Amino acid sequence: MAAFNPVKIFSGSQSTYLAEKIAHYYGKDLGGYTCRRFSDGEMSPSFEESIRGCDVFLIQSTPPPTENLMELLLMVDAARRASAHYVTVVIPYFGYARQDRKDKPRVAIAAKLIANMLTAAGADRLMTIDLHAGQIQGFFDIPVDHLEGTSVFVPYIRSLNLDNLVIASPDVGGANRARTFAKHFNADIVLCDKHRKRANEIASMQVIGDVEGANVVLVDDLIDTGGTMAKAAQIILDKGAKSVRAICTHPVMSGKAHENIANSVLEELVVADTLPMSQTNEKIRVLSVAELFAKAIGRIRDHESISSLFIRN
């Protein structure tokens, strides 16, 4: 029988709420970790137990502010200098993923920069879920385990027993995501074609496809201000849909997002717990991905395939 290095799981300051659940499902307690701060805000992370020769999993989502990313980079560096055998960064929400290409002149490709930074810090592997664009995996020169939110969302939608189900994307760019989701239900898809004046501000939107009498489920990787989702839901309902609900893996929920969702025609918004909810909202249902991540950690630890964690069509 092959010998395994001990597994230790740690959480950055941003994701303790989720990391505790992941560690529980894995069957271990979180490792001892502190992040001290100087009076000017400078961070000094340290592991409060030996990790020499261990397979270390560092859990931290990276939403704004950027100090969450900085803390994760420092954790990776600290783990390397403490002689960890293997360092896997677990980033449930990979921030800056929307900046994955040059869509206009003189802009940064932030997702690639972050990939370079994590690799330079000494990460051996990345685990995440529902990247904004799957091709971001190619930005890394280390293995990437890209989990799928369908593992928790598909069983929930099935439990609703919706008739005449139609899957919708709130923008044309999410067509592949909607199509992948629709295959699980042998459902049709429709697209919402939107035009923006600037970030987070929609100039116009129209629906491509038939939603008359359908129970529509909008699918996206994240929800930020909620403006796009609320507008798409209203237009779809105006086109004759019976009901509209939405699934978004990452609840960024910035600005007036909670107000926009509460005042929308959505039956409900179903999200994962990759980010903590800043406030309660009667229309939002949170499904946990902690067990999914725990199982993935176990398969990586045992050098097994994680493809069995995906729901096949």
Give the tens place of pLDDT for each residue, 190-207.
Answer: 999 876 556 555 557 889
Q: Give the pLDDT score at 1.
A: 42
145 marked as part of a ligand binding site: no
List the catalytic residue out of 8, 194, 231, 295.
Answer: 194
67 annotated ligand-binding residue? no
Decide if domain 7-148+290-308 falls under CATH 3.40.50.2020: yes
Residues 241-289: pLDDT tens digits? Answer: 999 999 999 999 999 999 999 999 999 999 999 999 888 899 999 999 9
- pTM score, whole prediction: 0.93
40 is in an annotated binding site: yes
Residue 32 known to bind ligand = no
What is d(CA 290, CA 274) in angstroms, rounded to the nearest whole number? 9
Band of the pLDDT at 294, cuts 50, 70, 90? very high
Q: What are phi and psi of 240, to 5 degrees?
A: 105, 10
- Say whether 115 sits in a helix, a strand or coil: helix
CA angle 237, 241, 246 (to 5 degrees): 70
CA distance 172 to 94: 22
Q: Is 135 annotated as a binding residue?
A: no
Task: Identify the bridge partners of residue 126 per DSSP, sorted by sequence position.
Answer: 89, 144
221 is an annotated ligand-binding site residue: no
Task: Tell whether residue 16 is among the known ligand binding residues.
Answer: no
What is the residue extent of each domain of the chain? 7-148+290-308, 150-287
Is 132 labelled as part of a ligand binding site? Answer: yes
Give the pLDDT confidence of 14-26 residue by residue, as tens digits.
999 999 999 999 9
Tell me how far apart the 2 most distant CA atoms of the chain are, in Å: 62
pLDDT bracket for residue 91 (50, 70, 90):
very high
E strands, the chain, are 7-11, 33-37, 43-47, 55-59, 86-91, 125-129, 144-147, 165-169, 188-198, 201-208, 215-223, 243-251, 269-272, 284-287
Q: In CATH terms, are 7-148+290-308 and 150-287 the same topology?
A: yes
Percent of the chain scoring above 70 in pLDDT: 95
- Residue in 25, 15, 20 with CA at minimum distance from that of residue 60: 15
Judge whether 102 counts as a catalytic residue. no
| Helices 150-160 & 175-183 angle (0-180, nearest 10) | 60
CATH class belonging to 150-287: alpha beta
